[in-house]
Structure 1
């Protein structure tokens, strides 16, 4: 009797399967990509247990997956330390983040625990360019993971953002099975980037000084080549620190700044500067708090003497735009400040709103930039 019923069921189901009317679990398809280090990275299917060696790379992952925490086996603790405002939003929406194992700070190879990462049995470890290091250097993390039989991919949004953001998103999208989402963000990003580039070709470039972590430390830390310098260049400005500083960041004295007297002054800040009396910008920061800290900064000795401040061409920008694909919003803000007439129609807030609606796993509310017209509400 059972055998007869089985034969009948088979005769009924087989035609439906052939017509695609009954869904069957799709077999995971192998994934092969080329990462930023030029390495071929292969997985039997999309990654499900990822170790983010640098926790801050959640910034990119959270634009591609609606629940990026569900993909993580562990991560670097640098995200919570450096980006507490974003961390709070992830914790509110994805409480599992609070019990996610950490693998060290993730800022440097010395701060990263290779042993802890291996113990979590990940199917993929994601490294930044700085953590990956030289392929043949001592203590190279890529070689060590490969020797342990663990797949590694290198992506980066920090050192050369305009060069590496698109390929990094493409690599991540393929590795987690979110290729369509990655391509959608890439199209969104490239359309806005090309609009900026087409309008600044051949124009005069005003001098710009970017004061990093402004008000919280001795004046004046500034980006040299790469990172924010790329943003300034795409926005149609000339970063005065790029010709002075040999690396990605460095220190410029107040005397050097006053002598250069840039046409545009841009300070960067974050919630990490609240206790230091510096510029406070970021997710969850109110307009009043941002305006108050900005007013204090530009009234400080030395900074207040800059002609950019006197001429109303002083601005503030969230420091953490420097390591996320959200940076296209920062570049649009810079373009409006550097060339207000040429970019009068540009709306960075609308760009940010669209990213939040279409891509971001967390709310992106707060005060992420501020201009010279900001005033403290009574």
Structure 2
């Protein structure tokens, strides 16, 4: 009789036992060992643009365990924010937080939400440690985990996807996502690898012109991030060997000397924080006519009228937010078409992005992520 009762009790309790969190040791991209119960039950996403990854892992259940997030998606990528609010109206009421390196992340309010974990970007690590943010969070029983999709994506992207997969109980989907991503990049790199004497066009990629400050050139990318995407797509980043960090400023005279064959600028909808509003607002559902006009105006700055790419109409804009999410297979495919149009005539990056939305994301696709100048327009 006792045995029968015990068996029945196990049957009742098994679903709860099976779904309970398990203490696991993970190593984040800052090299810190973190002991955490997985999957996490309550998460504050300290960089809201990480939702581009979380959504690919969790789909319709993206926000089930998110109890707060940073305000950067609303400010820096409002078109994507709107897409997620339309799909998940309740997230309009999610508590929003500031940026740790700027000292305006309200940790006291975060503690009241009883999160298990706060995810932060790697660039926040130094300030978070030196300011005592990590220690205060630990004292409140909150784990801090660092991710990186921006500083050194080649090194840290897959590790960051794996970590998010563990935190959100979606490790299988993380593997599927990584496999898809690598296969889409290989559609470009494998084809380039068999081309003898590949002629790589010289490319200048400008980081977020027209967003703030003086209307001047030339903030760009070193061998990481968009700079690496240029290389993978079969181009030659003119900042290679000059700028060794993720971002840096190129001397305008160097731009004239390099005389790039292609110019690409990054843009997004930065209306919420721009002081000069001359940026190219590409992104989900963008007005491409208006974006093209902005792009043409940016090419009137010194020294762009003297550059070959501008004279020949090889000028483009790409959605800036690709630089912080492992969706880089899309710009790599689009860059390849711009750099080697005949070799990649059959490649359709937009079709790839539509497919990706259908396979992985809970929001619908809208075009607008790229724009090019028409020859003669500038």
Whether TM exceeds 0.5 here: the answer is yes
- Tell me if structure 2 keeps the 8 A contact 1:69–1:96: no
- Tell me if structure 2 keeps the 8 A contact 1:291–1:375: no
- Tell me if structure 1 keeps the 8 A contact 2:76–2:268: no
In the alignment, structure 1 segments of 5+ residues that lack a partner are 1-6
Judging changes above 3 Å, is the alpha-carbon distance between structure 1 residues 187 and 375 closer, same or farther for their aligned structure 2 residues? farther
- Tell me if structure 1 keeps the 8 A contact 2:39–2:168: yes
Judging changes above 3 Å, is the alpha-carbon distance between structure 1 residues 104 and 303 closer, same or farther for their aligned structure 2 residues? same
Q: Which has the larger radius of gyration?
A: 1
Judging changes above 3 Å, is the alpha-carbon distance between structure 1 residues 69 and 375 closer, same or farther for their aligned structure 2 residues? farther
Pairs within 5 Å for 1:1-378 = 24-25=15-16, 26-30=18-22, 32=24, 33-66=26-59, 67-106=61-100, 108=101, 110-133=103-126, 138-139=130-131, 141-201=133-193, 203-216=198-211, 217-272=215-270, 276-298=277-299, 302-373=303-374
- Tell me if structure 2 keeps the 8 A contact 1:158–1:227: yes
Please state how far the C-alpha of 1:125 moved relative to its aligned partner: 1.2
2: distance between equivalents of 1:80 and 1:214?
20
Please state how far the C-alpha of 1:144 moved relative to its aligned partner: 3.9
Q: Residue 133 of structure 1 aligns to a residue in which SS?
A: helix
Judging changes above 3 Å, is the alpha-carbon distance between structure 1 residues 288 and 71 closer, same or farther for their aligned structure 2 residues? same
Deviates more, 1:347-356 or 1:138-147: 138-147
Q: Residue 263 of structure 2 aligns to a residue in which SS?
A: strand
- Tell me if structure 1 keeps the 8 A contact 2:216–2:301: no
2: distance between equivalents of 1:75 and 1:171?
17
Deviates more, 1:289-298 or 1:73-82: 289-298
Please state how far the C-alpha of 1:267 moved relative to its aligned partner: 1.4
Judging changes above 3 Å, is the alpha-carbon distance between structure 1 residues 27 and 56 closer, same or farther for their aligned structure 2 residues? closer
Q: Residue 63 of structure 2 aligns to a residue in which SS?
A: helix
- Tell me if structure 2 keeps the 8 A contact 1:287–1:366: no
In the alignment, structure 2 segments of 5+ residues that lack a partner are none
- Tell me if structure 2 keeps the 8 A contact 1:314–1:372: yes
Deviates more, 1:315-324 or 1:90-99: 90-99
- Tell me if structure 1 keeps the 8 A contact 2:218–2:251: yes
Please state how far the C-alpha of 1:248 moved relative to its aligned partner: 2.3
- Tell me if structure 2 keeps the 8 A contact 1:208–1:239: yes
Deviates more, 1:180-189 or 1:114-123: 114-123
- Tell me if structure 1 keeps the 8 A contact 2:216–2:302: no
Q: Residue 208 of structure 1 aligns to a residue in which SS?
A: strand
Please state how far the C-alpha of 1:31 moved relative to its aligned partner: 5.5
Q: TM-score, normalised by structure 1?
A: 0.85
1: distance between equivalents of 2:75 and 2:223?
25
Judging changes above 3 Å, is the alpha-carbon distance between structure 1 residues 37 and 278 closer, same or farther for their aligned structure 2 residues? closer
Matched length: 361
2: distance between equivalents of 1:116 and 1:204?
55
Please state how far the C-alpha of 1:50 moved relative to its aligned partner: 0.4
Q: Deviations over 1:105-125 (max 9, x none)?
A: 35x252323333223210111
Please state how far the C-alpha of 1:209 moved relative to its aligned partner: 0.2
